[in-house]
Structures are given as C-alpha cells and as structure tokens.
A and B are shown apart, each in its own frame.
Chain A
Amino acid sequence: MPEEPYNPSPIGNPSVLARRNWWQTTLVKFIGKHTPKCREMVRILSQSMDEPMPLGMRVKKRLHFLICCWCQRYEEQLVYLRQTARQFPGHADEASDAEFSSEARERIRQKIAESTH
C-alpha cells in the first residue's frame, strides 16, 4: 500500500501532532511556540479584515496555518461572512416574514403625493 502523503494540516485530523514523526512533531511545536496562539490569531485575523496585516505577521500567519487548519478555516469563514453579509440587503425580504402593513404603504404613498405637489 502506498504511504499516505504528508499533509501538514490534515482536515478532519483531531490533533496537529497525530501521525507525525519526531522531526515533524518538533517542527509543529516550534511553529506553535513562535506564532500567535489560536485565541490571539483569530483576533488578529478579524482585525486584518479592517486594516492591512503587517508583513511579519503575514509570514507568521502562513506558518501558523501550516499546523492549524482551524485558524485557516476561521479566516476563510470571515471572508464568507463578508461576502454573504454584503448580499443580505437584497435578500432581506427572504430573511423574515415581518409584514409591511398596508397602513404604512398608504401613509408613504400619501407622503410621496404631498412631496411632489
């Protein structure tokens, strides 16, 4: 049976240290020690949605993603949130069944008529 290819960030693998040899374990521990912890990383990722991330931090982020598929997913999901949130206003009529009352419609029509006279 061919050996499974080495995947530094196996999706669905419950542990970043699983299925790794001594060198790989050492590397993962090294990256873990020298890049922000996930709790801090998610805060940094959120901030990077609002202002550019400095180059040094971008490098650390890339390294961190090598050992952490969760933070990588988190970043992808922040982009997902942004993309869908921007589309939300055009789909707002699908988002709830709150009724825009006929009284309100009538009142607005009245105001429009007044404003154009």
Chain B
Amino acid sequence: MNISDIQTAASRWVDDHGECLYRYALVRVRKPEVAEDLVQETFLAAVRGYDKFGGRSSERSWLVGILKNKIVDRFRKLGRETSFTDTEFLSDEFSEKFVSIGFWNHDLGPHEWKPEPDAVMHRTEFWQVMGDCLSKLPEKIRAVFTMREMDEVPSKEICAILSISDSNLWVMLHRARMALRECLEMNWFDTPAGGTV
C-alpha cells in the first residue's frame, strides 16, 4: 500500500473509530486534552505500523489495542513521577454489609444478577452505567482496575509498571471490584432495565 492509500485509510479511521477511542481514553484518563493526545498518538502509531496489521482482527480492535498500550505507557510514566498507592478509598470496605462476626448481612449481600454477560453486551444502557461507575472510582484505583481487567496486564507487571507492592495492589483491586460491583448492582441489575427486578 502506498503512502496516499495509508493517508486515506487513516483519515477514514479518524471518522470511523475516533469517537470510540476518544471516549475510551476519556474513561481512563478523564482529562479531554490528554485523551485527545492519546488518540492522536494511537493513529500516528497505527500509520507507522500499518504493515504489521494483517487484517487478523477488526480495525477497531487493532486500534483499541494500540491505544491500550499508549495508556499503559502513560501510567508507567506517571508511576515514576507519583505514588500510585491508594489504600484510603473504601477503607471500611462496606463494613455495614457484614454483621459484626464477619458474615454477610443477609439483607445487604449480593443480589442475583439475572442477564448473562452475553445478553448485556448488546445493551447500550449497560455500557453507559458501566462507564459512569468506572468514572466514580478514584483515579489511582481506576487506573489499577482498568489495567488489570481491561488491558489484561498481569498483576506482577502492574506492580512493576506503577511501582506498587503486591499487597497494595490486591487491596486496591479488591476495593475497586467491591465498589464497582455495588454500583452496577444499584444502577443496572436492580433496575427494570437490568432485569433483576
């Protein structure tokens, strides 16, 4: 493919996938100008690496893959500059959900989640709730959770990238999962849209 073909393709990517990449980056970094920069870096890297894209995956997942790497690079840089440990968030770990001896308070324990994951994947409202719930997590907690669960970075690697200890990572992931689970249950699964009620 010659240069002008790549340029035409890249221009189309901006229209076809720019918005998705931008909104994804925004969930991860929150600041619009940083999200725009990440999307720009993604497209430039895609242009440079176009030869390597053999069409094995869809264009979108290829571009999302590049963006994920750019986000991890950004966190790596931030990890060198600031401490990524946050063990303050949710330090009571929803203690009201447990009775004093440590068992679930049965009225407040996890509810049953009805729709199977495959069924919610096609529901726009689900992704909106998920995006809102992720945005409510404090920055460092969100960074750790999204690297682990969205970028699928192994936990040892996250510790190395962000310079945090194993035990702090587990505490942060545990609290992120608890808070996100709770938020999804309240705002999706326990609502008529979510299908539990």
Contacts and interface: CB of A to CB of B under 8 A. Distances in A.
A100 B18 contact: yes
B170 to A, nearest CB: 5
A90 B20 CA distance: 7
Contacts, number: 176
A86 B7 contact: no
Contact of B23 (A11, A50, A84, A100): A100
Interface residues of B, number: 69
B118 to A, nearest CB: 9
A interface, over-half SS: helix
Contacts of A71: 104
Contacts of B145: 85
A77 B11 contact: no
B24 interface: yes
Contacts of B128: 94-96
B127 A37 contact: no
B22 A100 contact: yes
A11 B113 CA distance: 12
A49 B181 CA distance: 15
A112 B11 CA distance: 8
A85 B149 contact: yes
Nearest to A67: B103
B106 A70 contact: yes
B146 A93 contact: no
Interface stretch (B42-50, B74-82, B83-91): B42-50
B18 A105 contact: yes
A96 B27 contact: yes
Interface stretch (A1-9, A19-27, A38-46, A55-63): A38-46
A116 B7 contact: yes
Contacts of A108: 14, 18, 36, 39-40, 43
B73 interface: no
Contact of A84 (B44, B103, B130): B130
Shortest 9 CB-CB distances between A and B: which pairs?
A37-B102, A95-B131, A92-B24, A70-B109, A93-B20, A85-B149, A100-B22, A46-B174, A50-B155
19 contacts: A47-B170, A70-B110, A73-B110, A73-B111, A77-B110, A84-B120, A84-B130, A87-B121, A88-B127, A88-B150, A89-B24, A92-B24, A94-B124, A100-B18, A100-B22, A104-B39, A111-B44, A116-B3, A116-B47
Given A93-B23, A111-B44, A112-B10, 17 more contacts: A14-B106, A32-B103, A39-B93, A39-B102, A46-B174, A68-B104, A70-B104, A73-B111, A74-B181, A80-B117, A81-B184, A83-B117, A85-B130, A100-B36, A104-B40, A105-B14, A115-B48
